[in-house]
Amino acid sequence: MLAALRAALPEADLLYLGDTARVPYGTRSAATVGTYSQDCARWLIDQGCEQLVIACNTASAYGAQGVRQLAQGRQVHEVIGAGAQAAADLGTSRGVAVLATRGTVGSKAYLKALQDRMPGVPLRQVACPLLVPMVEEGWYDHEATKSAIRTYLAELQGFEFDRMILGCTHYPLIRDHLQDAVGAEVRLIDSSAAIAAALTRKGLPKGRGQTRLAFSDDPELSAHVVARIFPHAVHGVERIDWG
C-alpha cells in the first residue's frame, strides 16, 4: 500500500504506522481490532495527518466506523470497499473469490461490499491463516508457502471465478505464486492501486515528498519487509510505545 501511494503521489508527505507489536490482527476479536485501530488513528491524527488510509483488511472490517468517528471530518479510506469496487469495475464476472485472514472472512465485510456492487455474482471466501506469518518470516519463495497456497486454494475446487481479491496486505508479496496457482485467466485484485488512484483524483496537498515510518515494535524486525516492498527513500524511522 505505501509503495503504491508513494508512486502515485510523489509530492505528498506520507506517514506509515505499522502496529507490529500487536499483529496479526486477523486472529483478534472484533472489539480488540476496533480498539487497536482507534489507537493507531488517534496517533496519526495527533501527528497532523489530514487523511487516513486503513491498509489492513481486518482493521477495515472491524475498525473503520470507529476510525471515522475519531477522524472528525478527515477522509478515511479503507481497503475492503476499494477492493470490492475494483472487482466490480472489471465488468461482468463468473464469480469472485476472496482470500483473507480468519478475522476478515468472519466479518463477512467483503461479502456485503461485493453484494452491494455486484448483486447476483457468485462469491466464495477462503481463510488463509498461515500465509501472514510465512510472509512475516520472509518465506516468499519457500516451498512451505507454495504448499500452503495450494492447500487453501483447494477449497475453491468446483467454484468458477475469474477474479480473486487479495484480502490481506501481505498477500501481494506472494502474488506470483498465487497467480501461478489460479492461472493467468484469473485477475488478481490488490486494493492498493484502487486507493492510490482515488487519492490521486482527490488531489492531496503538496509537501516535500517525504516518507516517515513508525512501528510499535523494534523497526529492525520489519527491515527485511520494508526493503522488499518499498523501493523509495525513507526520511525517518521511529518506534512508538502504546504504554
For the annotated catalytic residues, the residue numbers are 56, 168
Q: Grid coordinates 452491494 are at which residue? A: 116
Helix axes 57-71, 30-46, angle to 10 degrees: 50
Backbone angles phi, psi at 58, to 5 degrees: -65, -40
Rounded Cα distance, 195 and 82, in Å: 6
DSSP readout, the chain? Answer: -HHHHHHH-TTS-EEEEE-TTT--GGGS-HHHHHHHHHHHHHHHHHTT-SEEEE--HHHHHHHHHHHHHHHTT-EEEEHHHHHHHHHHHT---S-EEEEE-HHHHHHTHHHHHHHHHSTT--EEEEE-TTHHHHHHTT-SS-HHHHHHHHHHHGGGTT---SEEEEESTTGGGGHHHHHHHH-TTSEEE-HHHHHHHHHHHH-PPP----EEEEESS-GGGGHHHHHHH--S----EEE----
Give, in order, the Cα–Cα distances in Å from 115 to each of 109, 205, 231. 10, 34, 36
